[in-house]
A and B are shown apart, each in its own frame.
Chain A
Amino acid sequence: MEIAQGLIAAVGVSLAAVAFLLGRAERLSSGHGVTYLLLGLVLAVAGLLGPTLGRWLLGAGGPMAALFCVTLVLLPLLLGLLLYQAVTLTGLRERLLRTAQEVALLRSALAEGAADRKDAATDSEAHPD
């Protein structure tokens, strides 16, 4: 029981630490950072206090039920988030954002160029040399 508790708490603390380090390396948005940090803290607290709360709420079988719930719900959620983050870490999101910005800037430059050419054509028609 204590080993399982310790493992869950360790995963939580690790998740919080990873969120901080990834944020520091600019590989995590503030929204994701806060999400992972909070999830890490929930895991840590659940690992440390879950069995006590379970005993208090459910009686003798409570501690095991609490740990089972934590494992069943939170750990798969954590794995899903890490998988999602792996995609972000490859820089795909950043590249998509940059590409969208470049597309917008290029379209704007093309529109301005077309407008300038139209103005020049109008001027040359109005004032032929």
Chain B
Amino acid sequence: MERTLIVIPALNEQRRIGELLSGIRRAAPGVSLLVVDDGSRDATASIAAAAGARVVSHPFNLGYGAALSSGYRYALRAGFGRVIQMDADGQHDPESLARIGERLDDGVDLVLGSRFLHAESYRPPLARRIGILLFSGLVSLALGRRISDATTGFQGLSASLLGFYTQQGSFPADYPDANILIRCGRAGFRIEEVPVRMRANPDGGTLHVGLKPLVYILRMLFAVAIESTRRLPRGVS
């Protein structure tokens, strides 16, 4: 089995990162952990390092996509054969890691953890569910197959997909979401969904407040429209 690196992009998560890392250690002993601290102003990086995780600290906030791509580059340079990425806010249940790992073992390039395929996962609020439904519908249409959770951050990636993502211009630094799924599908990578358990945000809060959901939807619609018409990077069939 390939060496696995768990990549966790984090921004000001000092209250939850320690508990998440302990949970992963319990659920998947022996895996390597990388916390990409995206310019936190709190003790996220030092807590992660004290918990035995590898840490990459951005000098300032570069964005969620850039944090993920730093993690992918680290994985390739350190010789890891695959990556599983999780959010740092504790919503992704480490017990679901094994299920994603199994599908990667089967040769799947991109394993999406779907909260909607798991009976015990929390159900997001209606407005957010509509947004997820919209983008899942667009991705399903573009890929010609059903994708139930196109906005999931709980994903497993093969080495070949990591190579693709780290090519110049293959991974957006701002919002890698439904658009990147379309790109992977069009590039011929094998994509599968597995049921994963997701919990509600322990604080009950969400990043999507105020005008942010509208801005997110507009940005993502633009990105999806672009993605569906653009040429693939050189070297990809």
Contact = CB atoms under 8 A, between A and B. Distances in A.
Interface of A: 20, 23-26, 29-31, 33-34, 37-38, 97, 100-101, 103-105, 107-109, 111-112
A112 to B, nearest CB: 7
A101 B65 CA distance: 12
A24 B73 contact: no
Taking residues whose C-beta sits less than 8 angstroms from the other chain, chain B's interface range is 20 to 34
Most buried by B among A23, A25, A34, A104: A104
B62 A97 contact: yes
Contact of B58 (A20, A26, A29, A100): A100
B66 interface: yes
B57 A108 contact: yes
A24 B219 contact: no
A101 B66 contact: yes
A49 to B, nearest CB: 22
Given A23-B222, A29-B174, A105 B57 contact: no
B182 to A, nearest CB: 13
Interface of B: 36, 54-60, 62, 66, 69-70, 73-74, 77, 169, 172-175, 179, 215, 218-220, 222-223, 225-226, 229-231
Given A100-B59, A111-B55, 6 more contacts: A20-B226, A33-B219, A97-B66, A100-B60, A104-B70, A108-B74
B226 A108 contact: no
The 3 A-B residue pairs with the shortest CB-CB distance, nearest first, are A30-B219, A23-B226, A30-B223
B46 to A, nearest CB: 12
Contact of A31 (B56, B77, B219): B219
A82 B70 CA distance: 30
Contacts of A107: 56-57
Contact of B230 (A24, A29, A31, A100): A24
10 contacts: A24-B226, A29-B173, A30-B175, A34-B218, A97-B62, A101-B70, A104-B56, A104-B57, A105-B77, A108-B56
B220 A30 contact: yes
B220 to A, nearest CB: 7
Nearest to A109: B77
B173 A34 contact: no
B222 A37 contact: yes
B230 to A, nearest CB: 4
